[in-house]
A and B are shown apart, each in its own frame.
Chain A
Amino acid sequence: DGGITQSPKYLFRKEGQNVTLSCEQNLNHDAMYWYRQDPGQGLRLIYYSQIVNDFQKGDIAEGYSVSREKKESFPLTVTSAQKNPTAFYLCASSMGGRSNQPQHFGDGTRLSIL
């Protein structure tokens, strides 16, 4: 089935450790996004990528890094510089160009600090 796969579903990080969250899509979408959600809050944009080998910072990019080497994949690394990484992370994708088609989301990765 076509869709967005995020893994792992749950992830634990030790203090000072970098961790990478995976996001893969088989929808042939050009654009991909990472959002963060804290309890009781809406989603906030971390990074997004409109095409391969290009990405832009969102509202809360500090302490995070991304890469977009393949159209299907947009991994997010939570670095040790992110002092409050505990949150629910959501990946999304959408068609590119002049399209009003919606974004589609994965089921998320919940990150916690040990």
Chain B
Amino acid sequence: DAKTTQPPSMDCAEGRAANLPCNHSTISGNEYVYWYRQIHSQGPQYIIHGLKNNETNEMASLIITEDRKSSTLILPHATLRDTAVYYCIVRAYSGNTPLVFGKGTRLSVIA
């Protein structure tokens, strides 16, 4: 079973920041938080991952709370192309560990 809890859906106005929450209260010390998104009928796309520090790349920012029990993915300026299902996944420190997907959050960016 997935070790994360996400809201089933969210809306965001185009051009505004989209903040997607994720709870992972049972996360272990050696587990990373990964975010992927899946646009309809495509394979999941990797967005970002982190262990305990906040991370930022060209796509998004990841904010992890100090106790590591929750995190937030931030898309700073959402566009219509960001409409997708976003998955938050907790994964142990190993390149070979399969991902365990929940149902994710369906983000709708509205013009």
A residues with a Cβ closer than 8 A to B are 4, 6, 30-31, 33, 35, 40-45, 48, 50, 58, 88, 90, 92, 94-108, 110
User: Do B103 and A100 touch (CB < 8 A)?
Assistant: no
User: Do A102 and B96 touch (CB < 8 A)?
Assistant: no
A30, A42, A45: which contacts B95 (Cβ < 8 A)?
Answer: A30
| Whole-angstrom distance between the Cβ of A101 and the nearest chain B Cβ | 6
Q: Which residues of A lie under 8 Å from residue B100 when comparing CB positions? A: 45
Within 8 A of A (CB), among B15-67: 32, 34, 36, 41-46, 49, 51
Q: Which residues of A lie under 8 Å from residue B10 when comparing CB positions? A: none
Do A104 and B99 contact each other (CB < 8 Å), given the known contacts A42-B2, A42-B87, A42-B104?
Answer: no
Q: Which residues of A lie under 8 Å from residue B99 when comparing CB positions? A: 33, 43, 45, 92, 103
| Whole-angstrom distance between the Cβ of B46 and the nearest chain A Cβ | 4
Do A96 and B96 contact each other (CB < 8 Å), given the known contacts A103-B46, A107-B43?
Answer: yes
Do A107 and B49 contact each other (CB < 8 Å), given the known contacts A42-B2, A42-B103, A99-B95?
Answer: no
When chains A and B are docked, how far (Å) is the Cα of A20 from the Cα of B41? 20
A33, A50, A105: which contacts B45 (Cβ < 8 A)?
Answer: A105
| Whole-angstrom distance between the Cβ of B62 and the nearest chain A Cβ | 13
When chains A and B are docked, how far (Å) is the Cα of A42 from the Cα of B95? 21
When chains A and B are docked, how far (Å) is the Cα of A39 from the Cα of B57? 31
B43, B44, B96, B102: which contacts A30 (Cβ < 8 A)?
Answer: B96
| Whole-angstrom distance between the Cβ of A12 and the nearest chain B Cβ | 17
A35, A98, A102: which contacts B93 (Cβ < 8 A)?
Answer: A98
Residue of A whose beta carbon sits closest to that of B91: A100
